[in-house]
Amino acid sequence: MQQIEQIVASLRDEGFRITPQRMAIVDYLIKTEDHPSADLIHKVVRKRYPMVSLSTVYKTLDLLREKKLVNEIEVEGEARFDAHTDEHINLVCMKCGKIDDVDEESLKEIQVKASKKSKYLILKSNFELHGYCGNCKSKMK
Amino acid sequence: MQQIEQIVASLRDEGFRITPQRMAIVDYLIKTEDHPSADLIHKVVRKRYPMVSLSTVYKTLDLLREKKLVNEIEVEGEARFDAHTDEHINLVCMKCGKIDDVDEESLKEIQVKASKKSKYLILKSNFELHGYCGNCKSKMK
DNA sequence: TCCTTATTAAGAATAATTCCTAATTAGTAA
DNA sequence: TTACTAATTAGGAATTATTCTTAATAAGGA
């Protein structure tokens, strides 16, 4: 689990300025279990820090993604973000839209195999399973 | 490997009409190795069947996806389509945008494990690896 | 405290996708 | 073959997530 201090330190080390906007966004991402969209991040962060604009949210997310401090996955036409950056499976509920993480050891192995077979240089991975979460599943019968 | 006849039959069986537009789109998807976007499908199909509109391409792809006759993956803000519907890994080149498929037996197993652990009812999966393809890799040094 | 330059806010621009509606046509039945 | 009708289509407008632009602001160093 990443800590705010680690992320702030790695940004500072590379010469990026530590602004209240960046702090607020990182703080939220670290603490939430959700996989929020840019828009949701904006809405939530605004409650406490009303001066954060949506374009700053996008820029900050770009930066964090580039530095591999957050993960991005695209679901139904929008990007969703997550501070859980080690390899895992994203379970996406097609009903309520929530995303859960599940760890799975064999992903690394699969990645190595596929890389050899295909001659690709792999830089990132994304494993998704889509369906209905336990909650939505039981509501449906 | 799916055949055109199979797809056409399963559409007809469910009462959908077999139009030249649908035939043209299915025909292209079956024959190509690419994972084309809706826009590319439109451009290609238009050469032979100039009466196909982009909105029909989208509608047809919706239908085919719903009937699980094609696979959809979202890459960099656009949807890419593929008639290869059994479980596999999509290798996405971050340079040239091409997508290659790699089969991997253990995906089914992983899916079962994750489903048990999470209580999700899994309906579809998407496994992506992003990086540079062999071709782009060698061009870069 | 001041200065430089990265960063931000705000809104305009872009691009993929969806929506809307009148016109067309596939499939069916006479 | 012809006529019918509901599904489908073409074309363009509307929507929506994201990117771009620019002037104003402020972080961090001197």
Per-residue confidence (pLDDT) for residue A81, from 0 to 100 = 98
Concatenating the DSSP letter of every residue in A55-93 gives HHHHHHHHHHHHTTSSEEEEETTEEEEES--SS-EEEEE
Per-residue confidence (pLDDT) for residue B20, from 0 to 100 = 96
| Strand, helix or coil for residue A43 | helix
Q: Mean pLDDT of all residues in chain B?
A: 95
Q: Which residues of B touch A93 (CB under 8 A)?
A: 120
Give B4-82's CATH code, choosing from 3.90.1170.50, 1.20.1250.20, 1.10.10.10, 2.60.40.10: 1.10.10.10
Per-residue confidence (pLDDT) for residue A1, from 0 to 100 = 58
Q: Which residues of B touch A121 (CB under 8 A)?
A: 131-132, 137
Sheet of B99-102, strands arranged across: A99-102, A89-93, A121-132, B121-132, B89-93, B99-102
Please, which residues 95-114 of chain B have a Cβ atom closer than 8 Å to chain A? Answer: 100, 102, 104, 106-107, 110-111, 113-114
Helix (H) or strand (E) run with residue B20 in it: helix B20-31
Per-residue confidence (pLDDT) for residue B51, from 0 to 100 = 86
How do the domains of chain B map onto residue ranges? 4-82, 89-140
Domains B4-82 and B89-140 in one fold: no
Percentage with pLDDT > 70 across chain B: 99
DSSP state letter for B37: B
B61-114: pLDDT as tens digits: 999 999 999 999 999 999 999 999 999 999 999 999 999 999 999 999 999 999
Q: Is residue A3 very low, low, confident or very high in pLDDT (cuts 50, 70, 90)? A: confident
For residue A65, pLDDT beyond 80: yes
Could you give the C-alpha distances from A21 to A28, A61, B50, in angstroms and in order? 11, 11, 51
Q: Is residue A15 very low, low, confident or very high in pLDDT (cuts 50, 70, 90)? A: very high
Q: Give the gap in angstroms from C-alpha B2 to the nearest C-alpha of chain A.
A: 23
For residue A141, pLDDT beyond 80: no
The residue length of chain B stands at: 141
A76-96: pLDDT as tens digits: 999 999 999 999 999 999 999
DSSP state letter for A37: B
**Angle ∠(B75,B30,B127) on CA atoms, nearest 5:** 35
Q: Which residues of B touch A107 (CB under 8 A)?
A: 110
Q: Is A4 on the interface with B (CB under 8 A)?
A: no
According to CATH, the topology of domain A89-140 is Dna Ligase; domain 1 (3.30.1490)
